[in-house]
Amino acid sequence: MNYLQYYPVDIVNGEGTRCTLFVSGCTHACKGCYNQKSWSFSAGVPFNHAMEEQILKDLKDTRIKRQGLSLSGGDPLHPQNITALLPLVQRIKRECPDKDIWVWTGYRLEELDETQQQMLPYIDVLIDGKFIQEQADPALVWRGSANQVIHRFTHID
Ligand code: SF4
- Whether the model clears a pTM of 0.85, i.e. scores above it, the answer is yes
Q: Would you say residue 128 lies in a domain? A: yes
Beta bridge pairs of residue 105? none
The pLDDT, as a whole number, for residue 156 is 73
Pairwise CA distance, residues 138 & 123, whole Å: 25
Q: What percent of the chain has pLDDT over 70?
A: 99
Q: Is 127 in the pocket of ligand 1 (CB under 6 A)?
A: no
Pairwise CA distance, residues 129 & 150, whole Å: 10
Residues 6+ apart with CB under 8 A from 119: 76, 77, 82, 85, 86, 89, 103
- Give me the number of domains the chain comprises: 1
Q: Would you say residue 157 lies in a domain? A: no
pLDDT for 157 beyond 90: no
Rounded to 5 degrees, φ, ψ at 8 are -70, -25
Interval between CA 156 and ligand 1 midpoint (Å)? 31
Work out which ligand 1 atom sits closest to the CA atom of 36: 8
Arithmetic mean of pLDDT over the chain: 97
**Amino acid in the structure at residue 7:** Y
Q: Would you say residue 118 lies in a domain? A: yes
Top pLDDT among 44 and 157 is at: 44
- pLDDT tens digit sequence for 84-131: 999 999 999 999 999 999 999 999 999 999 999 999 999 999 999 999
Which of 130, 143, 147 to mutate for ligand 1's pocket (most ligand atoms within 8 Å of CB)?
A: 130
Pairwise CA distance, residues 25 & 2, whole Å: 8
Span 132-140, average pLDDT: 97
155 pLDDT tier (thresholds 50, 70, 90):
confident
Structural domain range at position 48? 2-152
